[in-house]
Amino acid sequence: MAAKIIDGEAVAEEIKKKVAADAAELAQAGRPPHLVAVQVGENPASKIYTNMQAKACESVGIQYELLNLPEDTTQEALLAKVGELNADKKVTGLILQMPVPPQIDARQVQVRLSPAKDVEGMHPENMGRLFYGGGIVAPCTALAAVELLKRACPNLTGKETVIVGHSEIVGKPVAMILLQSLNESPTATVCHIATKDLAAHTRRAEVLIVATGVSQARWQAYSRRKKAGEKPPLPDLSPLIKADMLRQGAIVIDVAMNRIPKGFDDSGEPLKNEKGSTIMQTVGDVDFAAAKEKVAAITPVPGGVGPVTVAMLLANTVACAEALA
């Protein structure tokens, strides 16, 4: 029997309805949520993301402001601006847009954001609170993955759960969120690039959460070598997790969003469209077509974790505003 496809778009809409109601309540109380995104310089990819942020915030009644600083802004000037925003009582949420120019140390800047206004949940203080089972916010993608998992499997008690990937954004915080309950947590195993036999772990997983982006990393490495004048072999862009690595009836949360070519021609060049541009596709870390015939439930890519991540950013923004009110 084919798997249940976990609809991230529908879940995101549910979350946003609640966020909109909470934001309206704050506004009526004279404390509207106000999110400021700080961007240094111009970046086309970042511009797309900030436009999405602005539309998402507008849709739920969150005030959104993009503070665009010059490309040559110094580290000291940026830290000073962050200090001003931290002190501004009208601002209830902050984001540092990535990427930043080479003269900026992003980690140092993020550490200087007020933990109370850190809507991405990446400040060390917020991560530490997550470790101890408390706190107001957590990394948005990790929250999204767990939210979708709980929709598919409300009772996780003791379940063999394997997390593939141990990033600060997804893998590590997902593990901490899942382990917060004293008596009802799943049995969590975290795998990563140094894991010796990945398939041995994934085959026993009743729940599998995958967040590596391996295919995209391979494509980017290949592209860099080509631009440098090398002639590298074609990269293996196949999914990291094949169907034979999955347990029958498992629940799969595929977090990755790999942007890779749809294929290569006989000469080894990426397939092009009529305009001469590479035909790209967005895929996850799991072989979705094969997996959906074997597992009980799975998130699609796109349309799974992505939309819920945006919704969780909005929910974090309101949570920060409520705590500051």
Q: Print the SS3 string covering 84-102.
A: HHHHCCCCCEEEECCCCCC
Residues of the chain with CATH 3.40.50.10860: 29-119
pLDDT in tens, 118-132: 999 999 999 999 988
pLDDT value at residue 267: 84
The rounded mean pLDDT for the chain is: 95
How crowded is residue 237: how many other Cβ atoms within 10 Å of its Cβ?
Answer: 19
Whether 238 has a pLDDT exceeding 80, the answer reads yes
Please state which CATH number belongs to domain 137-308. Answer: 3.40.50.720
d(CA 203, CA 181): 25
Token pair recorded at residue 111? 């550490």
**pLDDT confidence bin for 23, thresholds 50/70/90:** very high
Note whether 61 and 318 are within 8 A (CB). Answer: no
d(CA 22, CA 33): 10
Could you give the 3-state DSSP secondary structure of residue 272?
Answer: strand
Residues 6+ apart with CB under 8 A from 177: 130, 138, 142, 143, 146
- Tell me the average pLDDT across 85-106: 96
pLDDT in tens, 268-323: 889 999 998 999 999 999 999 999 999 999 999 999 999 999 999 999 999 999 99
Whether 1 has a pLDDT exceeding 70, the answer reads no
**pLDDT confidence bin for 137, thresholds 50/70/90:** very high
Residues of the chain with CATH 3.40.50.720: 137-308
- Name the pTM for this structure: 0.94
Whether 13 has a pLDDT exceeding 90, the answer reads yes
Note whether 176 and 223 are within 8 A (CB). Answer: no
pLDDT in tens, 29-72: 999 999 999 999 988 778 888 999 999 999 999 999 999 999 99
What does the CA dihedral 144, 298, 295, 188 come to, rounded to 10 degrees?
A: -10
Q: Which residue has the higher pLDDT, 49 or 25?
A: 25
How does DSSP classify residue 278?
Answer: B
Q: Which of 96, 81, 122 is nearest to 43 (CA)?
A: 96
Q: Is 29-119 assigned to CATH 3.20.20.70? A: no
Q: Print the SS3 string covering 21-79.
A: HHHHHHHHCCCCCEEEEEEECCCHHHHHHHHHHHHHHHHHCCEEEEEEECCCCCHHHHH
Q: Which of 320, 47, 295 is nearest to 149 (CA)?
A: 295
